[in-house]
Amino acid sequence: MKKIKIGFTLILLLLLSVQTLTVSAEVPYHTYTYDYWEDPINIPAPYTPDLTITGQDLESGQFNNPQDITVTNDGRIYVADTGNNRIVVLDHDFHYIEVIESFDSEGETETFNTPSGVFVSDKEELYIADSNNNRIVVLDRDHKLVKTIQDPQSEILGDGFVFTPLKVAVDYADRVYVISNNMYQGIMTFDEMGQFNGFSGTINVSLSFSQKVWRLLSTREQRARQVLYIPTEFTGMDVDPDGFIYASNIDTLGDQAVRRLNPKGQDVIKTSPRNDLGGDVTYPLRGAYAGPSTFRDVVYRGNGVYSTLDSNRGRIFTYDYEGNLLYVFGGMGTQKGTFRRPAAIAQKGDDLIVLDAGNNAILSFEPTHYGALINQAVEKRYLGDESETVALWQEVLKLDANNEMAYIGIGKAHLANGDNALAVEYLNRGRDRNYYSIAYRRYRNEIMQENFNLIMTVLVLGVVLFMVYRHLNKRHNFKFKNYFPKKIKLKKQVAERREVNV
């Protein structure tokens, strides 16, 4: 009988191993998150590769070093095919629509020169960062020229400044945001008329003590070569419906590589005490993929959720509106679903699409049941619908019993519903100290309120008895031992007899 049990266990383990290998074979990259102790934890795949589209699959022909991609509300896809000096337009099913290679400007046909950025505004106007022509070209849906933004003038730009736009984004008020080459002061902002207004989100680099000492001892020439100490550059951006700009930036320390800028240019992104907004917490110090994550682009996905694209290791990091890391997937390689040189990221419906400049291809990823559950749970909480959040996170725990975010999500839902005891339990499992403290304080107050009458009765009774005792003691020399003289005397006699016998 024991041999049969052992055999059955081995067969079960073998079947589970085969199932695990099968799932792993479908996903050619590592999927993980970080726990409270900042250790990487394996998770089920949140997204799997769906489609890979190259120019050879389309009437447009092969892409050449494409640098940007954007998706409109109706699902049209615009690709900045930089090396071919054109914009390729696809429909929501990745079918070819047209190629934009030129436009009419006052009766003359003009073309693009290395267009590196593309964006479609709410008015369905197409903004193209025509990099080597040093301008932003704005076209309507019929590809007629609306305006161009070029040669900005301002004292703060300095002498010899050359406007070389790389990325462009537009908010609901037609304010234009531009990332320009070698522009360290921040994101350039223009009004609806194309007039330069200033910079948004300047990031100053703070020096360590050793760096300050080195600069103090350096010559003027050496200090001039230390470019890492000037404000850092932005690399990609997206805009949400409220006009906030999500922007990725270079971060050599891995602390914060994405920001949320309000219309005043202030970073108002929420950070989580559990992890920084810098991608990988642990990473190799040597080798081809050494160093912290390098966020090349960011996409706002709605409901406070945003995803960033790491061009160093080809990974996609997704955060919620509180700065919590939800999941990580993706990688470098030659297999389906991996990248050579990821350049931009966008969202199409529930799918994520990545533009790979190394493979001259568009890669589409669809959510798994596990990833969809997490997305739905975060969405419900963001919209204030806590009633369905618990059930969704419970389903997540069935697939991944170690998911701390699921425990935290359930704990927050119970906290919002006033179930403080359950909130304490789940938040403790999720190791969320901040919300655990809030839940524990509320639970403690709840216990105090429920037992208030009993506690006050005991306290009042104790005070009354003490006051009665003190009153009797003062007026009648009251002592408890006076009421038990015979018993005390008998005890003394017994003790004396024992001493005599000894």
The whole-number pLDDT of residue 190 equals 97
Q: Which pLDDT band holds residue 385 (cuts at 50, 70, 90)?
A: confident
Residue 347: partners with Cβ closer than 8 Å, 6 or more residues away: 71, 299, 301, 307, 353
Lowest mean pLDDT among 59-68, 126-135, 205-214, 460-469: 205-214
User: In this predicted model, which residue has the larger pLDDT, 466 or 369?
Assistant: 369
Q: Which pLDDT band holds residue 222 (cuts at 50, 70, 90)?
A: low
The whole-number pLDDT of residue 160 equals 85
Q: Measuring CA to CA, how many Å separate 355 from each of 48, 101, 178, 336? A: 16, 20, 20, 14
Tokens for 412? 């927050």
The whole-number pLDDT of residue 251 equals 87
The whole-number pLDDT of residue 231 equals 60
The whole-number pLDDT of residue 184 equals 86
Query: What class, spelled out in words, does domain 32-367 have in CATH?
Result: mainly beta
Q: Report the candidate in 368, 373, 341 with the shortest Cα–Cα distance to residue 357.
A: 341
The domain segmentation of the chain, as residue ranges, is 32-367, 369-450, 462-501
Average pLDDT over residues 408-421: 91
Average pLDDT over residues 474-500: 57
The whole-number pLDDT of residue 461 equals 81
Backbone phi and psi for residue 27, each to the nearest 5 degrees, phi listed first: -120, 105
The whole-number pLDDT of residue 121 equals 96
Which CATH number describes the domain made up of 369-450?
A: 1.25.40.10
Q: What percent of the chain has pLDDT over 70?
A: 82
Say if residue 24's pLDDT is above 50: no
Tokens for 145? 């020229």
Task: Quote the CA–CA distance of 189 and 463 in Å, as a whole number.
Answer: 71
Which three-class secondary structure string do you get for 284-330?
CCCCCCCCCCCEEEEEEEECCEEEEEECCCCEEEEECCCCCEEEEEC
User: Going along 290-442, which residue ranges are E strands?
Assistant: 295-302, 305-310, 315-319, 325-329, 342-348, 351-356, 361-367
Lowest mean pLDDT among 14-23, 100-109, 470-479: 14-23
| Three-class DSSP category at 405 | helix
Say if residue 431's pLDDT is above 70: yes
User: In this predicted model, which residue has the larger pLDDT, 324 or 160?
Assistant: 324
Strand-pair partners of 90: 77, 96
Lowest mean pLDDT among 202-216, 248-262, 346-360: 202-216
| Three-class DSSP category at 94 | coil
CB 469 within 8 A of CB 478: yes
Average pLDDT over residues 10-25: 37
Task: Quote the CA–CA distance of 204 and 223 in Å, as a whole number.
Answer: 17
The whole-number pLDDT of residue 12 equals 36
- DSSP characters over 101-124: -EEEETTEEEE-SSEEEEEE-TT-
Quick one: CA dihedral 202, 205, 206, 212, positive or negative? negative
Average pLDDT over residues 451-462: 74
32-367 and 369-450 share one CATH topology? Answer: no
Q: Which pLDDT band holds residue 135 (cuts at 50, 70, 90)?
A: very high
The whole-number pLDDT of residue 19 equals 36
Say if residue 485's pLDDT is above 70: no
Quick one: CA dihedral 375, 380, 383, 384, positive or negative? negative
The whole-number pLDDT of residue 233 equals 87
Lowest mean pLDDT among 109-123, 364-378, 427-441: 427-441
CB 265 within 8 A of CB 188: no
The whole-number pLDDT of residue 27 equals 86
Say if residue 216's pLDDT is above 60: yes
| Three-class DSSP category at 168 | strand
| Three-class DSSP category at 93 | coil
Average pLDDT over residues 76-89: 98
Lowest mean pLDDT among 45-49, 95-99, 139-143: 139-143
Say if residue 387's pLDDT is above 70: yes
Q: Which pLDDT band holds residue 120 (cuts at 50, 70, 90)?
A: very high
Task: Quote the CA–CA distance of 449 and 444 in Å, as a whole number.
Answer: 9
Q: Measuring CA to CA, how many Å separate 168 from each of 74, 266, 346, 350? A: 20, 19, 14, 24
